[in-house]
Amino acid sequence: MGSSTSDKVFAALEIFRIELPSWGFANTGTRFGKFIQPAAATTTEEKFSDAGQVHLLTGVCPTVALHVLWDCPAGVQSTDEIKRFASRYAVAPGSINPNLFQDQEYKFGSFGNPDESIRQRAMRHTKDSIEIARRLNSRDISFWFADGSNYPGSANIRQRKEWFTDGLKAAHQQLSPDQRMLVEYKPFEPAFYHTDIADWGMALLLSRAAGPQAKVLVDTGHHYAAQNIEQIVAWLLSENMLGGFHFNDRRYADDDLTMGSIDPYQVFRIFHEIHFFERETGQHADIAYMVDQSHNLKGKMEAMIQTVTMAQQLFAKAALVDAKKLATAQKNCNLVDAESVLQDAFATDVRPVIKEWRESKGLPKDPMEAFRQSGYLERITKERAVKNSHNVSSYA
């Protein structure tokens, strides 16, 4: 690999950061059951500890996303404790995620619930979440709504759109000048007839209605099969409305598999569109990259390290696309050359250069092997096994 190529990989790795999800270290399940792992994190502190270990080995995960209901059980009063965890384990609080889907009151929705008192309850939780973010110096508040309906005629879709518009506007008014709200979308599940924010167009319209600090959050698992996600990325970039990514992989729907395990070329194409936008326009794409995965079968720590190292590889590969050559081929409608520019970059083995970059930073050249040799997994398994054994249940 030539020095020019190595320089591009080094430059890409210098700017790439990806946020870890606290819930990715805890026991999770499916609609059919929960499979307990003896080393899974059982407290917010243990989640910070695990995230800190992944960052220590990879050097590119300085923040951990928090779910308010799961990680801030005392609400705003939890922030002092979280600050101590952040200091102790050398990872900062990242995006703050309100939970507007788990409580029994949200059976028929949160912002879109026909009951005004429940909509007000959802707004109080939203305001608390924004205040938690403010106290933790977290910029992004990420909203995902399970709201929708299962049967035709059972919901007033237009009315619910208005309720969502009003709710998101009210939430936007609570933001500090340096905060953002990210609006996520999902076509189905748990609602199977209609979802209130079902696609990127709905999220875009609602974000614009909310205010200038609202952007769209794209989850790679929240699309119909075979949907062209990189086209959505290109459009949102063009509209200056792409705020963040939740990365995972899937074969069928929202499978939440480890990033790149099914279709690494898709993630490469997404990263390419972002790199290409920045090179052509000279603008920085201010995008928060986050992991959002459910590791039910793989070991949680190993799955997270595997994801982060794969993310680095795909981001670096996308940085190798010859933008000038590609633009020329596109202008001349030279289809073979244009496609080959992408394929050549994707086929490049960037792993040796990534190892060099890690070595230059004092990081392990092989984070997975370093983790396996560290004894960390054995220690936390011993410490947490009894607590996790008490969580065994037939259903999630």
In a domain, 396, yes or no: no
In a domain, 132, yes or no: yes
Considering the entire predicted model, what is its pTM? 0.96
pLDDT in tens, 123-146: 999 999 999 999 999 999 999 999
CA-to-CA separations, 65 to 20, 95, 331, 382, in angstroms, rounded:
6, 5, 42, 26
In a domain, 395, yes or no: no
User: If DSSP codes are grouped into helix, strand and coil, which group holds residue 215?
Assistant: strand
Q: What is the pLDDT of residue 389?
A: 86
In a domain, 241, yes or no: yes
Quote the CA–CA distance of 88 and 104 in Å, as a whole number: 35
User: If DSSP codes are grouped into helix, strand and coil, which group holds residue 290?
Assistant: strand
In a domain, 188, yes or no: yes
Please name which of 216, 205, 294 lies closest in space to residue 25, comparing C-alpha atoms. 294
Q: What is the pLDDT of residue 294?
A: 86
In a domain, 359, yes or no: yes
Residues of the chain with pLDDT below 50 are: 393-396
Q: What is the CATH number of the domain that holds 199?
A: 3.20.20.150
Q: What is the pLDDT of residue 392?
A: 57
In eight-state DSSP terms, residue 258 is P
Range of the domain at 358: 3-389
In a domain, 394, yes or no: no
Please name which of 223, 369, 340, 218 lies closest in space to residue 289, comparing C-alpha atoms. 218
Domain count of the fold of the chain: 1
